[in-house]
Amino acid sequence: MDFSIILKTVGSLVMISGALSIIISIAEKVLNNYGTCELDINNGKKMLSVQGGSSLLSTLAGEKIFLPSACGGKATCGLCKVQVLEGAGPLLPTEEPYLTPQERASNTRLSCQIKVKNSMKLVIPEELFNIREFVCTVESITDMTYDIKRLRMKLPEGETISFKAGQFMQFYTKPYGKVKEEVFRAYSISSKSSEHDYVELLIRLVPGGLCTTYVHTVLKEGDQVRLSGPYGDFYLRGDCEELIMIAGGSGLAPIRSLVYEVIEKGLPHKMRFFFGANKMKDLYYMDEFARIEKDYPQFRFIPCLAFPDEGDNWTGDTGFVTVALDNQVDTGDNKEAYLCGSPGMLDACIKILKTKGFTDETIFYDKF
């Protein structure tokens, strides 16, 4: 074929695709231009005029109203629920798995999935208005294990945070490398609830994970980071004599905060903390929990190693944490259980707890 014909054909294709992308971007702008929409929150208590076109979750965040979210709007955590009485449109397939029949009947929706396209009537629980945004300074980054880092962050001068031990924060990354947009993920607070000017998080590296790769490879001491919170209903109820605490990996974070809350408030509860890990290299905060055990006889720390190496000289409990739990907790009477860790480990532990008489009302957990 003549070279000039090839050139002309390629040129025409480039022009056509250029024209098409301009038409698509104009069409997107026209189609997504929903103009100004009114948000009526809690029956007229708060009225907002917002630009339509974004998700309800991010529109509210733009107005400094923060709904819980752990997946950054990917419809995989189900935390961003909100009641939308009017203006949400039909239920989307991405929302369905997360909504119970009762929630559907009360017009509960996933705020990350529905777009603000017209005026809406919302019901937002009052406590969510206390959630604030903080621009913190990373004071230290400490390796706790080969894949878990502790971030200690100082709140801006003069600002303080109040949270219940067990609650979590949302951590926002900055664009880095090939990741062109900020992402945000949930991290349980590991520091003491009595500490109001610092927040500590324990972040385990998920290979290929957007947020944890940022924390483990990009973030430096002295950097500024954005956090919002506190969120969540994983906190101490304490209507019992003994607390059974169970964690694996970075799930230790909220349990550490809970243990200190009980101690610092002088609460009478006995506590047993079962910490499941594979090998010695996965254990951390061992000296600290040993010290607490020595100082406070009401607290017992039971680390369990599933696969200790011979050279580890491990003398503690061996096997999965479920084995220790089954052997050492006889009944759920007058006890509450607080669990945090991977879904597999938590499901196995909850199954055992139920055989001991624990119920949905006495078991509390955050799975991640």
Of 183 and 321, CB closest to ligand FES: 183
Q: Which of 264, 232, 309 is nearest to 67 (CA)?
A: 232
How far is Cα 281 from Cα 277, in angstroms, rounded to an integer? 9
In 3D, which of 271, 258, 195, 260 has the Cα closest to residue 232? 258
Per CB under 6 A, does 365 bind ligand FAD? no
Q: Does 131 bind ligand FES (CB under 6 A)?
A: no
- Report if residue 77 touches ligand FES, rule: CB under 6 A: yes
- With CB cut-offs between 5 and 8 Å by kind, which of ligand FAD, ligand FES, none does residue 59 bind? none
- Using alpha carbons, list the distances in angstroms from residue 99 to 20, 69, 78, 110, 284: 39, 15, 8, 8, 37
Residue 88 vs 151, nearer CB to ligand FAD: 151
Of 201, 159, 208, 200, nearest in space to 183 by CA:
208
| Among 53, 78, 209, 316, interactor with ligand FES by CB under 6 A | 78
What would the x/- binding string for ligand FAD be over residues 185 to 204, using CB under 6 A? xxxx------------xxxx
Residue 128 contacts ligand FES per CB under 6 A? no
Q: 342: closest CA among 314, 318, 322?
A: 322
User: Contact between 79 and ligand FES (CB under 6 A)?
Assistant: yes
Site for ligand FAD contains 141 (CB under 6 A): no
What is the biggest distance separating any 2 CA atoms in the chain, rounded to whole angstroms? 90
Q: Is 59 in the site for ligand FES (CB under 6 A)?
A: no
Q: Give the whole-angstrom CA distance, residue 243 versus residue 262.
A: 10
Q: What x-and-dash track marks residues 88-127 binding ligand FES by CB under 6 A?
A: ----------------------x-x---------------
How many helices and strands (H and E) does the chain possess?
8, 17
Sheet holding 299-305, edge to edge: 317-318, 299-305, 270-277, 242-248, 335-341, 363-367
* Of the candidate residues 41, 59, 69, 299, the single one contacting ligand FES (CB under 6 A): 69
List residues binding ligand FAD (CB under 6 A). Answer: 70, 77, 168, 183, 185-188, 201-204, 206, 208-212, 232, 250, 253, 366, 368
